Amino acid sequence: MNKTVEIQDLGHKDYKATWDYQEGLFQSVLSTKIKNRREETNLETSNYLLFVEHPHVYTLGKSGDFSNLLLNEEQLIQKGATFYKINRGGDITYHGPGQIVGYPILDLENFFTDIHKYLRLLEEMVILTLAEYGLKTERSPGETGVWLDVGTPFARKICAMGVRASRWVTMHGFALNVNADLGYFDNIVPCGIMGKAVTTLNVELGVENVDEAEVKAKLLKHFLNLFEAEAYH
């Protein structure tokens, strides 16, 4: 079992180009697994964690409802945003500058074969990271992601999640709002949930800007601990 994870920071990268790149890594891991099964070989499968920041984009999961996007094509252009229907779980979400997006492409057979546990560990990674900034965040029953003030009229989401898995190989992942422009969330029904607010780390801390490199380093530290993994760059 290979518990090393290759960490790649892609910087600021177009959503579609990143999706294609992710898909390539995902397919390469899958093809190794298929070869192992067919030829009874025992080749090691790779694991990756990609960090990226996207230009303004809205993505709709395979079970999502297109009506949760509140913009037409012309309005999207005016906002400088793009739209994609994609193959992850979940409904609609927004990605953009000031948001740390993480895409773990893991062969879960190297770790554990439990998608529920996988999602809970990703949430825990974010909860532990935000605790280092003095924020108490938690899960919301039946809603994937990380929230503040769950069960109150002030419930708000700070991190969205949506994954795809095939033969225990994962792709897509999480999006943590650090310094994101919350105005872009006004153009969607986030994750298809009416009346739920969205927030960012800098707003919660009452500061203009949070160091995103520092947040990434904390996320990575907790990711490696929770998955009992080793990083290489």
What is the per-residue pLDDT across 18-72, written as a single tens digit (0 to 9) for each?
Answer: 999 999 999 999 999 999 999 999 999 999 999 999 999 999 888 788 888 888 8
Residues 122 and 230: their CA atoms lie apart, in Å, by 16
194 is in an annotated binding site: no
Please say if 191 is a catalytic residue. yes
In sequence order, the 6+-apart residues with CB closer than 8 A to the CB of 158 are 126, 130, 135, 137, 146, 147, 148, 176, 177, 198, 199, 200, 201, 204
Q: Residue 189: what pLDDT? A: 75
Buried b (16+ CB within 10 A) or exposed e, 46-59: bbbbbbbbbebbbb
Instruction: Kindly tell me if the per-residue pLDDT of 192 is higher than 70.
Output: no
Q: Residue 88: what pLDDT? A: 81
List, as one string, the DSSP characters of 71-103. Answer: --HHHHHHTT-EEEE-SSSSSEEEE-TTEEEEE
What is the per-residue pLDDT across 198-220, written as a single tens digit (0 to 9) for each?
Answer: 999 999 999 999 999 999 999 99
Mean per-residue pLDDT, 170-179: 96
54 is in an annotated binding site: no
Domain topology for 4-230: BirA Bifunctional Protein; domain 2 (3.30.930)
Mean per-residue pLDDT, 152-179: 94
Q: Residue 63: what pLDDT? A: 78
Q: Which one from 5, 60, 191, 201 is the annotated catalytic residue?
A: 191
Q: What is the pTM of this model?
A: 0.94
Mean per-residue pLDDT, 99-107: 98
Give the gyration radius of the chain's Cα atoms: 17
| Average pLDDT, rounded, for the chain | 93
Mean per-residue pLDDT, 133-146: 93
Spatial contact of 102 and 173, defined as CB atoms under 8 Å apart: yes
89 is in an annotated binding site: yes
Instruction: Kindly tell me if the per-residue pLDDT of 194 is higher than 60.
Output: no
Mean per-residue pLDDT, 124-151: 95
Going along the chain, which residue ranges are E strands?
4-12, 48-53, 57-60, 82-85, 92-95, 99-105, 138-140, 143-148, 156-166, 169-177, 197-198, 230-232
With a pLDDT cut of 90, the percent of the chain lying above it is 79
111 is in an annotated binding site: no
Give the Cβ contact number of residue 143 at 10 Å: 18
Report the DSSP pairing between strands 156-166 and 143-148. Answer: antiparallel
112 is in an annotated binding site: no
Q: Residue 190: what pLDDT? A: 59
Q: Residue 3: what pLDDT? A: 97
Confidence of residue 169 (pLDDT cuts 50, 70, 90): very high
Instruction: Kindly tell me if the per-residue pLDDT of 145 is higher than 90.
Output: yes
* Burial of 122 (C-beta count, 10 Å sphere; 0-12/13-18/19+): buried
- Every domain of the chain and the residues it spans: 4-230
Instruction: Kindly tell me if the per-residue pLDDT of 136 is higher than 70.
Output: yes
Report the DSSP pairing between strands 92-95 and 82-85. Answer: unpaired
